[in-house]
Amino acid sequence: KKSVPDLAPLEAVLFDVDGTLCDSDPLHYQVFREMLPQIGFNNGVPIDEEYFIKNIAGKHNPDIAVLLYPDDIPRGIKFMEDKEAMFRSRLASENLPPIKGLYKLTKWIEDRGLKRAAVTNAPKPNAELMISKLGLKDFFDVVILGSDCERAKPYPDPYLKALEVLKVSKDHTFVCEDSVSGIKAGVAAGMPVVGLTTRNPESVLMEANPTILIKDYEDPKLWEALEELDKRIGSSKTSA
């Protein structure tokens, strides 16, 4: 399996949004905890964090709708729309902390003139709100939504679409992700994935086969890999 330095020369970096650019999962979790008992889910007992991580975090809304209302999918979809509206109203009024070191990495990417895309299963208004609250509206060349693709993550389709739109090769691009579903999608698209242990335990993320796992974007493991990448690009230039 390719490591990050093997990608030299690097062409692009692809980012998931929720949990990867910002730590938004606690807010999603809160909203689910409040709203699910109202529909009698789990006999009205609020879900716990373990259930949330295992069954909900990082999943595509239509799949969550099926989980909640297996016999009435339209009703499940309506619930998810209401849930997202509640999430956005909370998000609008709260501050959204970026993952530590995010701007150090975005600056590194900008300084090297790399292409970049946000690739997310989140609904469009959520993705746009989060990206703009983080001040990254001008940073991304494109935002690829799971709903724009034949299949959302954990399938590779959204990442393959990002490569196509940016006109870059999977052999010169890496992905940043924080969920099992997202890591699987990046790996299935043939790219090394930097996995963030923002919310999900390492043991769980390892099952999806990331190239490296980091705590956040200040993690020395990430910067060692990026320095090595820079070195390889530098030495290939001098030898050319």
Domain of 173, in residue numbers:
4-23+97-238
Pick the catalytic residue from 18, 23, 25, 178.
Answer: 18
For residues 89 and 190, state if they share a domain: no
Instruction: Compute CA distances 105 → 38, 132, 218, 219, whole Å.
Output: 41, 17, 9, 11
Q: In this structure, what CATH number is given to the domain that contains residue 13?
A: 3.40.50.1000
Looking at the structure, do residues 76 and 13 belong to the same domain, yes or no? no
Of 16, 23, 157, 178, which residue is the catalytic one?
16
Same domain for 123 and 224?
yes
In the chain, the number of structural domains is 2
Whole-prediction pTM value?
0.91
Nearest alpha-carbon partner for 55 in 77, 30, 29, 79:
29
pLDDT in tens, 176-190: 999 999 999 999 999
pLDDT at 96 over 90: no
Same domain, yes or no, for 66 and 177? no
Report, as an integer, the average pLDDT of 204-219: 96
Instruction: Give CA 198 to chain center in angstroms.
Output: 11
The token pair that represents 19 in the structure block: 């949990």
Same domain assignment for residues 216 and 146: yes
Distance, CA of 157 to chain centre: 14
18 is a catalytic site residue? yes
Domain's final residue, options 76, 93, 110: 93
Sign of the CA dihedral with 200 first, then 120, 160, and 163 last: negative
Q: What is the 3 state secondary structure string of 15-40?
A: ECCECCCECCHHHHHHHHHHHCHHHC
Which of 67, 93, 119 represents a domain boundary (last residue)? 93
Q: Check residue 44 and report its DSSP letter.
A: G
DSSP code for 156:
S
CA distance 168 to 154: 21
Query: How many CB atoms neighbour CB 44 within 10 A?
Result: 10
> Which among 93, 112, 140 is the end of a domain?
93
**In a shared domain, residues 16 and 57:** no
Identify whether residues 159 and 218 lie together within a single domain.
yes
The verdict on 118 and 19 lying in the same domain is yes
Could you give the C-alpha distances from 240 to 48, 171, 172, in angstroms and in order? 57, 20, 18
* 73 plus 118 within the same structural domain: no
As a whole number, the mean pLDDT across the chain is 94
User: Is 230 found in the same domain as 217?
Assistant: yes
pLDDT at 92 over 90: no
User: Do both 116 and 88 map to the same domain?
Assistant: no
pLDDT for the residue 235: 77
151, 176: one domain: yes
